[in-house]
Each structure stands twice: as C-alpha cells, then as structure tokens.
Chain A
Amino acid sequence: MSVTEKTPFDEAEWQAQERALRDPSARDIDPRDVSYRRVANALRSSPRSEPPADFAADVAKRVARHEAGIEPLLSRILLAAFVVISAILLAIYGSAAWQALGQGMAGGGSGWVLAGAGCVALSWIASRGLGWVVGAGGRTRVA
C-alpha cells in the first residue's frame, strides 16, 4: 500500500486539519480552517449503519450449534477408535514389534530414531517460541 508522491504532505495544512477536528469553535484565523471545519463536521456526522438487533444472538447461536454439532462428536469417536485399535494391535503384535524395534536399533536404526525425536523437539520449541513472540502484545494476527 504505497503512498503516492503526488500530494506531498504539508505540515502546516495537517495542523489546520487537526485544529478543525479538535477545536471546532475556535476563532478562525486561516481560511483553510473554515473549509476543514466543514470537512471535520461532515466526517463527524457521517452516517453509520448499525448491526441488526438480532446479530449477537445469531452469532452466539451459530457458535453453540457448532459446539454441539457433529465435529466435536466425530473427534471424540475417532479418538476412542484410535485408542481401542492401538490397544488391539499392541496386544496382537506388541512383542513382535518390540523385537523388531530392538533389532533395528542394534542395526544402526537408532540414528533415525534420534533424528526423528530431534525434529519433534525442534518443532515443539519453535511453536512455543513463536507463540510467545506473537502473543507477547496480547494480540495475535489470526486472520
């Protein structure tokens, strides 16, 4: 969003604009003040549309519908299914998997496991650090 160079900023004129905004009843000493006073008055009385009376209730209902909707339920079902399937697989293949893992580690696979763990740790540290920086002002650019 660049600023055009075609209308150079004039400090004296800016002050006239600000005087008109802040002190509309002051005695005019500059013809520019009269014009800017009219502009400031128009800006002050600029019509504003208002949200409909039911807007807040509508949004709150939408949020409530969303919270009570299928997504949270689906998440819980998926989590439960994951836990159950993991337990079944562990019961069936648990001992064999441990043996294979032990062999893999002994055969030089430990480097990959360490690298994987390192990546997870780095991601976690980065996300914590970023969260701290972004949230430090109490605001976060969420959009």
Chain B
Amino acid sequence: MTDASAPDRNTLDADRALVAAVLERRPGAFERLVREYQRLCWHIVDRMVRHPEDTRELCQEVFLRIHRTLHQYRGESALKSWIAQVAFSVATRHLERKRLPLVDNDGDEGEPSLAERAGSGFDLESSVAGEQINACLHAAIDTLPPLQRTLLALYHLEEMPISEIAGLTGLAEGTIKSHLFRSRKRLRDLLESRIGVPT
C-alpha cells in the first residue's frame, strides 16, 4: 500500500470510455457501470450503516445520483474515487439524519469499553483458537463507531492509501491516521485483556 493514489492512464481511459457510453445512452452501459462499482459502494455504505435494507436503498440512491451528475465527471481522477466519495457522503447524511454518532471518544467515562461491548455473549478466554479470536475481533470491529469501522475497511480491505481515503472522506490525512491508530490499538487492547500479552 503506497500513498501514490493517482490512477494510472489505463484506468482513466477505461473510466472515460464507460462514462461516455453511459452519457450516449448506449444499451447496458449504465448497468455495466453499476456492476463494476457496486461492491465498493456496498462495502462503504454497509460499513457505515450496518443495516441491510438501508444499505440497499442508500446504494440505489448513490447510483441514481451518479447517473444524474455523470456529465460533471471530467475524467481527471478515477471514477472509483468519485463513486466512493458519493457513497460515503450519502451514508454520512443518513446517519446524521438519524442522529447516530459517526465517531466516539474512546476512554470517555460512562461509555462502555470495547471489551464490554464486544464481550457480551462471547467468551474469549475459553476460545483462543485463531478463528475464534478472529470472530471476537470481528464482533469488536462491528461495535466501533461508523467512521472508524469504515476507515479500517477502506484501509485494510479495499487497500486504499490514506491519501485516497482523505480525498473521499474529506478528512485530513492526520485525522485518518489517528482514527486508524486508535481503532487498532483498541482492538489490540481488547485482545490482550482477554488472552494476555503474547509471548
């Protein structure tokens, strides 16, 4: 993973050709565009909202917006980044409308710790095998606030460089690093509090 987020020429050419086909209303072109980027959009929205029906509805909204505003795409950056940006923005607005917090402050008094939140119904002490550790950590990741959960997914699963994440979320690179750092540290603390410091 490097921070060179500039798309290569082939990607841009392919994006421009696809956009031109959609704007010329060639049969099947828009469906091809959706098919190409639906997974990325779905992953971002799903990480943010964690609700299957809302995810489907919001992803449809993302692509309808993309279709309405596609004439504004100038082909100077990857279509993927633009779609990810719209997906993130739509999901963020949805959470704001529902008054759900995007982030929380770890260590706040009165807030349940990650271990407490992730620990309900799962005994990590008695399940130290790799898969079970993963299952517990996955449960813990799900209890992270939407923004931190999404940043982890973009960085670790989508393998996006921090500069690209900054572009699509509108956050400063330092802020993203800080969120990644804190989230991973919290997951490590949870792990070590349950199974002890590794040898």
Distance (whole angstroms) from the CB of B43 to the closest CB of chain A: 6
- Knowing A38-B191, A39-B137, A139-B82 touch, does A46 contact B67 (C-beta < 8 A)? no
- A60 to B81: give the CA distance in the assembly, Å: 21
List of B residues within 8 angstroms of A17 by Cβ: 180-181, 184-185
Query: Residue B100 at the A interface, CB < 8 A?
Result: no
Picked from B74, B81, B177, the residue with its CB within 8 Å of the CB of A135 is B74
CB-based contact A46/B156 at 8 Å: yes
Query: Residue A108 at the B interface, CB < 8 A?
Result: no
CB-based contact B34/A14 at 8 Å: no
CB-based contact B188/A138 at 8 Å: no
CB-based contact A60/B55 at 8 Å: no
CB-based contact B188/A39 at 8 Å: yes
- A4 to B55: give the CA distance in the assembly, Å: 29
- Knowing A3-B179, A14-B181 touch, does A60 contact B34 (C-beta < 8 A)? yes
Query: Residue A140 at the B interface, CB < 8 A?
Result: yes
- A58 to B42: give the CA distance in the assembly, Å: 14
- Identify which of residues 1-35 in chain A touch chain B, using a CB-to-CB cut-off of 8 Å: 1, 3-4, 6-7, 9-10, 13-14, 17, 21-22, 31-32, 34-35
CB-based contact B76/A44 at 8 Å: no
Query: Residue A57 at the B interface, CB < 8 A?
Result: yes
Picked from A14, A56, A60, A143, the residue with its CB within 8 Å of the CB of B90 is A143
CB-based contact A139/B65 at 8 Å: no
- A34 to B133: give the CA distance in the assembly, Å: 13
- A26 to B54: give the CA distance in the assembly, Å: 41
Picked from B31, B82, B177, the residue with its CB within 8 Å of the CB of A57 is B31
CB-based contact B56/A55 at 8 Å: yes
Number of A-B contacts (CB under 8 A): 172
CB-based contact B198/A35 at 8 Å: yes
List of B residues within 8 angstroms of A60 by Cβ: 28, 30-31, 34
CB-based contact A43/B76 at 8 Å: no
CB-based contact A6/B188 at 8 Å: no
CB-based contact A1/B147 at 8 Å: yes
List of B residues within 8 angstroms of A57 by Cβ: 31
Picked from A48, A62, A135, the residue with its CB within 8 Å of the CB of B64 is A62
Query: Residue B106 at the A interface, CB < 8 A?
Result: yes
Across the interface, name the chain A residue whose C-beta is closest to B22.
Answer: A63
CB-based contact A56/B137 at 8 Å: no
- Identify which of residues 36-81 in chain A touch chain B, using a CB-to-CB cut-off of 8 Å: 36, 38-52, 55-60, 62-63, 66
- A51 to B137: give the CA distance in the assembly, Å: 24
List of A residues within 8 angstroms of B85 by Cβ: 139, 141, 143
CB-based contact A42/B60 at 8 Å: no
List of A residues within 8 angstroms of B59 by Cβ: 51, 55, 59
Binding site for A on B (CB under 8 A): 1, 28, 30-31, 34-35, 38-39, 41-43, 46, 52, 55-56, 59-60, 63-69, 72-77, 81-82, 85-86, 89-90, 93, 102-103, 105-108, 130, 133-134, 137-138, 141, 147, 152-153, 156-157, 167, 170-171, 175, 177-182, 184-185, 187-188, 191-192, 197-199
